[in-house]
Amino acid sequence: MSEDKDLPLRDDIRLLGRLLGDTVRAQEGEAVFDLVETIRQSSIRFRRHEDHAARRELEATLDSLSRDQTIDVVRAFSYFSHLSNIAEDQHHIRRSRAHQIAGSAPKEGSLAHALERAFASGMGSPELAAFFDTAQIVPVLTAHPTEVQRKSILNCQMVIARLLDERDRMQLTPEEQDHNDEALRRAVLTLWQTRMLRTEKLSVMDEVSNGLSYFDYTFLRELPRLYGNVEDRLAAHDRSWGAMELPNFLKVGSWIGGDRDGNPFVTAEILEKAL
């Protein structure tokens, strides 16, 4: 029987969905939980089985919602989408690690795959060195107002992702499992109690601060690892790379705090502070 590679993903989504449901019941009451469940079950019946009676029930339920009920329902399904996305991201990491552990060929589109193609084409060390001397990759950060999430939401998401990763990589003792379960419950509760939308407009310097916070858990953590991986692969192909250091071919750019994106609130003073 073939392995169901997506089973861990479905297990994580069920776990997070159950924790969210428990949180909704505890924080908003049984009536709100039952309403959300009724909408969810009707949606599933219509989506999976094209049950038109379920669609009519769904439309009738949604049309009858009060303002407060609408807010509760929208929040419940929005946070479930957030949690599902976290589970999917962790599953992507899980599958990537499984491929690496199994010694699979580098995935198409990856940097490792690009290097393998370069080696296979006969590119030698001089050509590769010349390439890296002239290569320039510049990811640019921008504070797009419709895409930037609140930092408090991002912090909750990172905690939940870390706890899911802990469950996946470690064989937990019963006590450790209990601690992880409780930490996940608290994290989902914190997420539910956190407003998804801002009530005040961010200043330009707020946007700069939010942008800088990304560096701690993205670029500053991953760039040294990326350079190390590339250098190791090059050295494995040609030992002369062991005594060489890659040039700085990846640099981070930013429009935040500048007027490149047409921000009318950026002044010369703001630009100086951002820099």
* Catalytic residue ranges: 144
Find out whether 165 and 227 touch, Cβ atoms under 8 Å.
no
List C-alpha distances in Å: 25 to 96, 192, 208, 244.
36, 12, 38, 59
Residue 94's H or E segment, with its range, is: helix 67-101
Nearest to 273 by CA among 214, 219, 207, 215: 207
Measured distance CA(263)–CA(148) in Å, rounded:
15
Find out whether 27 and 193 touch, Cβ atoms under 8 Å.
yes
Nearest to 204 by CA among 264, 253, 140: 264
Nearest-Å Rg of the Cα atoms of the chain is 24
